[in-house]
Structure formats: structure tokens, C-alpha cells
Amino acid sequence: MTDEEAEPASTAAVADDRSPTAAADDSSSGRGEPANSTAESDLESGDERAAAGGDDDPSGFALAARRVRREPTLLLPFAVAGVLLTVVDWLRRDDPLPVLVTNGGDAATIRIEFAGYPTGVPATARSLEALIDLRLPYLAWGIGLEIAALLVVATAGCLTIAWSRADERSGDDRDERDDWYQSLTGRRLLSYLGLVALFDAIGRLLGWIGDGGLLLGVVIAVPLFAAFVRWFLAPAFVVDGAGPVTALRRSTRATRGIGWQVLVLVVLFGLTAGLLGGLPVGGTLLSTALVGSVHAVTIATIRAEQRRPDATS
């Protein structure tokens, strides 16, 4: 190799030695900004995911809790629902129809109160047997009061999930408002009410069967919790426009692979609702406003995470 041939290599080596300075000059002149901005953006998004529990947290509970703390107005629909359900409790106690008081029991008793959809724990309940052989005015009153209670919970759930979903989606404000208004159409609200009524009917039926004894209750509990896990996301699919039965089917598919994490959520929400709902004063309001809200935001968050492009790729 001649000296002339070696000179370019030597010059390249000098350039390589000076590359950090050159890179710094490029960065200060603006040519390095895109790479640095991308790196900083990746770090920021990584920090946000880490704070929320990371990408390996399919439950979305940490992110949902952060959303509620950052945006406490998400508590408003279920707070109003809690007040109205408290009024329903008072009306049940005041009317002449038979009523079952469900709160204020033994403080040492641990209860899991999970209805399958975002809600709270009422202080009173009315069995179907209480509506048998009633005169028409009393029958209309009893049925109307139960429907009103379900409608209150359905409206709060639809509002909260739609609100959370609109905020999670990207796009301009007009698109988010359109999505939010579309989620609150009468058809979707009726579908959500149908889903709530379906869960309520299943709960009443299983409660009636569970009166057969402890062993039978344990046998029923296993498939019941499995159903709660698989149908956990059904309210979000109803808000997206699916009917109740279709929403249950889609939720069954969407919860595959995250069943154990969802089971933890079911137990967590059920225990918290049972604890708050058992309070002799304010139990209905607290369980509805807190557990119902976080439950609904968690459902919306999980669906938002599943719909992300990197989650489906």
C-alpha cells in the first residue's frame, strides 16, 4: 500500500475520532433533532407505560386508577347513580311491598359482591316472589322501581365507558365528541340496559338455586366466576354498538389469554364493593361511586389497549 492510498484511511480515522463533536454540532444545528426527539418520545412513553404497570399489565387497572385520579370527573356519573340508588333504597323500605335489607350485617363477614357489570351494592333488594299476587297498582310500582334502578346503573355505565373511550382515542376533538355522542344513542343505551337486565336475571336465578345449601353454592360459584371473567368486557362492546348476546360472545374471545388477570380484577372489585356496600351508612353511595366508576374505566382501558395498533400487530 502506498502513502497516497493510506492517506484517505488516515483521514477517515481522524473523522471517526471527531465524530462525537460532529454529531454534537449536527445536533445543535438541528440535523440531529428528529432522532433525539424520537428517542425522548420513546423514553417518555416508556415511562408512562412503566408507571401504569407496563405493557405486561393486561388488566389495565393501574392505568384506570391513574385516569380516575387525574380526571375525577369520571366519578360523576356513578356518584349521581349512587345518590339515586340510595333514594331507591329508601323507597323500597317505605313502600308496603316485602323488602330484604342486605347491608349492616356482621362486620367480620367477607362478601364478594360482583354483578358482572359496573355498579354498586344497594342496601335493599326485592325478590321476584314479592311481586306475585299483587294488585295492578302495586305490581306496576314494584316492577317500575326495579327497572328504574337498572336504568340508573345502565346510564351511568354507558356514560362512563363512552367518556373514557373517547378520551383514549386519538384524533381531533370533533371526532372524539362524535364518538361520545354516538355511544349515547337510545339504541345503545337500551342494549346496555338489556345486558344489565340479563346479568340481573342470571344473578337472581343463581341466588335462588344457591339457597339449596353450601355445597350447591360452591358448585355454582366456579362456573359463575368463569363466566364473569369471560364476560368482563361485554359492557364495552355494547357501547361500541353490539347487542347484548353479541357483546358476550365478543368478550369471551377478547379475554382469552388474560383470564387470570381478569379474575384478579373480579375478586378485587367484588371484595371492595362488598366491604363498602356493607357499611350501615353511605354504603350504596360509596360502593357505586368508587367501585362502579373504576370498574367502568378499567373496562374501557382494557379495550383501548387491545385496540392499539402495536397490541394487535
Residue 33 lies in domain: 3-45
The three cell numbers of residue 262 are 381478569
The pLDDT value given to residue 2? 45
Q: Closest by alpha carbon to 226, among 249, 252, 205?
A: 252
Residue 259 lies in a domain: yes
Q: What confidence category does residue 276 fall into, taking pLDDT thresholds of 50, 70 and 90?
A: very high
Residue 287 and residue 150 in one domain = yes
Average pLDDT over residues 91-100: 91
Neighbours of 80 (CB within 10 A): 16
Predicted local distance difference test score (pLDDT) of residue 294:
97
Element (H, E) at 33: helix 33-51
Residue closest to 86 by CA, chosen among 296, 288, 290, 291: 288
What value does the CA radius of gyration of the chain take, rounded to a whole number of Å? Answer: 27
- Residue 50 counted as domain residue: no
Stretch 113-135: mean pLDDT, rounded?
91
Question: Quick check: 286 pLDDT over 80?
Answer: yes
Q: Are residues 35 and 139 in the same domain?
A: no
Is the domain of 128 the same as that of 262?
Answer: yes
Check whether residue 135 and residue 26 sit in a common domain: no
Q: How many domains does the chain have?
A: 2
Q: Which residues of 9-41 are buried (b: 16+ CB within 10 A; e: fewer)?
A: eeeeeeeeeeeeeeeeeeeeeeeeeeeeeeeee
41 and 82 both lie in a single domain: no
User: Is pLDDT larger for residue 55 or for residue 105?
Assistant: 105
pLDDT band at residue 30 using 50, 70 and 90 as cut-offs: very low
Set of cell numbers at residue 126: 326485592
Is 149 within a domain? yes
Question: What average pLDDT does this structure show over 285-304?
Answer: 96
What's the rounded mean pLDDT across residues 76-104?
A: 92
Other CB atoms within 10 A of residue 240 CB? 18
Q: What is the pLDDT of residue 165?
A: 78
**pLDDT tens digits along 162-204:** 988 775 554 555 555 566 666 677 889 999 999 999 999 988 8
Highest average pLDDT, of 23-32, 39-48, 129-138, 167-176, comes from 129-138
Where do we find the cell 323507597? 91
Q: Does residue 292 contact residue 118 with C-beta atoms inside 8 Å?
A: yes
- What confidence category does residue 110 fall into, taking pLDDT thresholds of 50, 70 and 90? confident
By the 8 A CB rule, do 84 and 155 touch?
no
Cα(228)–Cα(239) distance, rounded to whole angstroms?
18
| Residue 90 lies inside a defined structural domain of this protein | yes
Contacts of 262 by beta carbon, 8 Å cutoff, 6+ apart: 59, 229, 232, 255
Q: Given phi > 0 = left and psi -120 to 50 = alpha, else beta, which region is 107?
A: alpha
Q: Is the pLDDT of residue 52 over 50?
A: no
User: Which H/E stretch holds residue 113?
Assistant: none
User: Both 41 and 189 in a single domain?
Assistant: no
117 burial type by CB count under 10 A (0-12 exposed, 13-18 middle, 19+ buried): buried
Whether residues 248 and 183 fall in one domain? yes
Q: What is the pLDDT of residues 203-226, one digit of tens each?
A: 888 777 766 556 777 778 888 999
Domain annotation covers residue 235: yes
Assess whether 155 and 248 both reside in one domain.
Answer: yes
Q: Above 70 in pLDDT, residue 133?
A: yes
